[in-house]
Amino acid sequence: MSSEDHHDVSRFQVGTRLIHGRRAPKEQFGFINTPIYRGSSIIHPDLETFETADLPYIYGRKGTPTMAAFEGLMAELDGAAGAISTPSGLCAVTTAILSCVSTGDHILVNDNVYRCTREFCDTILKRMGVETKYYDPTIGAEIQSLMRPETRLVYTETPGSHTMEMQDIPAIADIAHKNGSIVLTDNSWGTPLFFDALGKGADLCIHAATKYIAGHSDTLIGAVSANERLWGQLKSTREALGICASPDDLFLALRGFRTMRVRMDYLSRAGLEMAQWFSGRPEISQVLYPALPASPGYHLWKRDFTGASSLFSVILQPTFTAQAIKEMLNGLELFSLGLSWGGFASLVTPFNPVNHRTVVKWCTLGQALRFYIGLEDLSDLKNDLEKGFERLHAAPT
């Protein structure tokens, strides 16, 4: 991007940076969006240029204008030295971890971690000779008791994507850094708009950009941002593994950035209103949403976050049968049963973390449901759920 076209937008507020960051219409024949660049071969004008690799782009896997625009904006929003894109959120997790560990290392991972991250640690990392120790996500500075000379990294995810425990990232990062360890944070829930992961002490910030960044449930993409200390080895790991996101998905995620502030502003208000509504329902024993004062971890959310997204969980009263819950969920019209979140449509996912935790037992008796609040009118969503609760009560006991 030319210096003439790529003006500095860092002085503007985040909403303006999302709109104007990393756009180069003068270099794209006036088109306001950076186009999709598909291709592998990039033609060099002469042998001297070929031998010196003196071009902005030399091979499709190594970079295109679409990739550069997405990664550049991602890094700017995270306040990072640089960022990489990956073909999925899980690939962002695994690439970030692989950029840090070697055989013989010991790592600490939060017990409420995304299930696929746990599977990676328990299979691939174990085969590599990397030992994973899971820890209570609410441990804070007490993580010092788990640190060992060979502890290479501490993995965090705040809040947990199902059970919603908040982590004290600054306290954990302080202890980890004093012991020479690296801190990784999955920031898919908070996004750069609501949580400054690197500013709070993380060295690598991971995003399932499939979700709130892309925003339309039609894209698979991930991203990892790094501070100055880790940027070189993150970038070289991506290069060595041959990882590159689809140009089409990069374009869609870049487009998602442009409307992200508007979507997140609405979703933050919608999530809080719906969580409060659930809190008043007799069918609900507990709402797990960090932005509610009664929710565990509220003080950490209030201290470290500037907003809350629209993903949260509820626990039904334990008196309802499996058949009643089935009839409630199967009859929902606007809440679809589906994985992922962050798109325009509302979702609900039943879950039971008992088999995916090894440190802190899940002792809740009622059925757990994770709700993602989308962009629908909230009165319609409430009406859909009220009919569902009617079916819940009407089912035979």
pLDDT band at residue 7 under the 50/70/90 scheme: low
The answer to whether 202 and 195 have CB atoms below 8 angstroms apart is no
Residues 6+ apart with CB under 8 A from 172: 139, 140, 141, 143, 154, 156, 183, 201
* Residue (of 373, 95, 353, 380) closest to 212 by Cα position: 373
Q: Are 154 and 274 within one domain?
A: no
Instruction: Encode pLDDT of 31-68 as tens digits.
Output: 888 888 898 888 888 998 888 888 888 888 988 999 99
Note whether residue 9 is domain-resident. Answer: no
266 belongs to the catalytic site:
no
Query: What is residue 51's three-state secondary structure?
Result: helix
212 belongs to the catalytic site:
no
Q: Are 42 and 179 within one domain?
A: yes
Residue 284: CATH number of its domain:
3.90.1150.10
Peptide bond into 159 cis (omega under 30): yes
Instruction: Encode pLDDT of 77-109 as tens digits.
Output: 999 999 999 999 999 999 999 999 999 999 999
* Residue (of 358, 389, 125, 84) closest to 243 by Cα position: 84
CA distance 80 to 65: 19
Q: What is the CA radius of gyration of the chain?
A: 22
Q: Are 323 and 336 within one domain?
A: yes
Note whether residue 5 is domain-resident. Answer: no
pLDDT band at residue 272 under the 50/70/90 scheme: very high
Q: Are 41 and 174 within one domain?
A: yes
**Domain end call among 256, 272, 302:** 256
Query: What is residue 211's three-state secondary structure?
Result: coil
User: Pairing state of beta strands 311-316 and 336-337?
Assistant: unpaired
Amino acid making up residue 22:
R
Q: How crowded is residue 176: how many other Cβ atoms within 10 Å of its Cβ?
A: 26
Query: What is residue 183's three-state secondary structure?
Result: strand
Q: Are 221 and 288 within one domain?
A: no
* Residue (of 169, 110, 159) closest to 290 by Cα position: 159
Q: Are 206 and 142 within one domain?
A: yes
The answer to whether 118 and 109 have CB atoms below 8 angstroms apart is yes
126 vs 9, which has greater pLDDT?
A: 126
Note whether residue 8 is domain-resident. Answer: no
Q: What is the mean pLDDT of the chain?
A: 94
Q: Does the pLDDT at position 29 exceed 80?
A: no
**Which of 114, 134, 155, 289 is an active site residue?**
114
**Which of 17, 23, 118, 211 is an active site residue?**
211
**Domain end call among 198, 230, 256:** 256
* Residue (of 343, 347, 282) closest to 313 by Cα position: 347
* Residue (of 6, 32, 4) closest to 21 by Cα position: 6
122 belongs to the catalytic site:
no
* Residue (of 188, 161, 157) closest to 74 by Cα position: 188
Q: Are 239 and 141 within one domain?
A: yes
Beta partners for 184? Answer: 155, 204
Query: What is residue 220's three-state secondary structure?
Result: coil
The answer to whether 372 and 217 have CB atoms below 8 angstroms apart is no
Q: Are 249 and 264 within one domain?
A: no
Q: Are 51 and 75 within one domain?
A: yes
The answer to whether 70 and 76 have CB atoms below 8 angstroms apart is no
Q: Are 265 and 202 within one domain?
A: no
Scored b (16 or more CB within 10 A) or e, 208-222 reads: bbbbbbbbbbebbbb
Instruction: Encode pLDDT of 200-232 as tens digits.
Output: 999 999 999 999 999 999 999 999 999 999 999
Q: Does the pLDDT at position 12 exceed 90?
A: no
Note whether residue 314 is domain-resident. Answer: yes
Instruction: Encode pLDDT of 299-318 as tens digits.
Output: 999 999 999 999 999 999 99
Note whether residue 213 is domain-resident. Answer: yes
Domain count for the chain, please give it. 2
Query: What is residue 28's three-state secondary structure?
Result: coil
**Which of 26, 38, 61, 303 is an active site residue?**
61
**Domain end call among 256, 275, 290:** 256
Instruction: Encode pLDDT of 172-190 as tens digits.
Output: 999 999 999 999 999 999 9
Helical segments of 197-332, H only: 228-241, 247-279, 298-304, 322-330
Phi, psi of 10 (to 5 degrees): -65, -25
Note whether residue 1 is domain-resident. Answer: no
pLDDT band at residue 6 under the 50/70/90 scheme: low
Name the residue range of residue 377's domain. 260-394
Q: Are 327 and 382 within one domain?
A: yes
Q: Are 209 and 357 within one domain?
A: no
* Residue (of 304, 311, 303) closest to 272 by Cα position: 311
235 belongs to the catalytic site:
no
What pLDDT does 24 receive?
82
Instruction: Encode pLDDT of 72-83 as tens digits.
Output: 999 999 999 999
Note whether residue 318 is domain-resident. Answer: yes
Residue 107: CATH number of its domain:
3.40.640.10
Note whether residue 358 is domain-resident. Answer: yes
Phi, psi of 315 (to 5 degrees): -115, 120
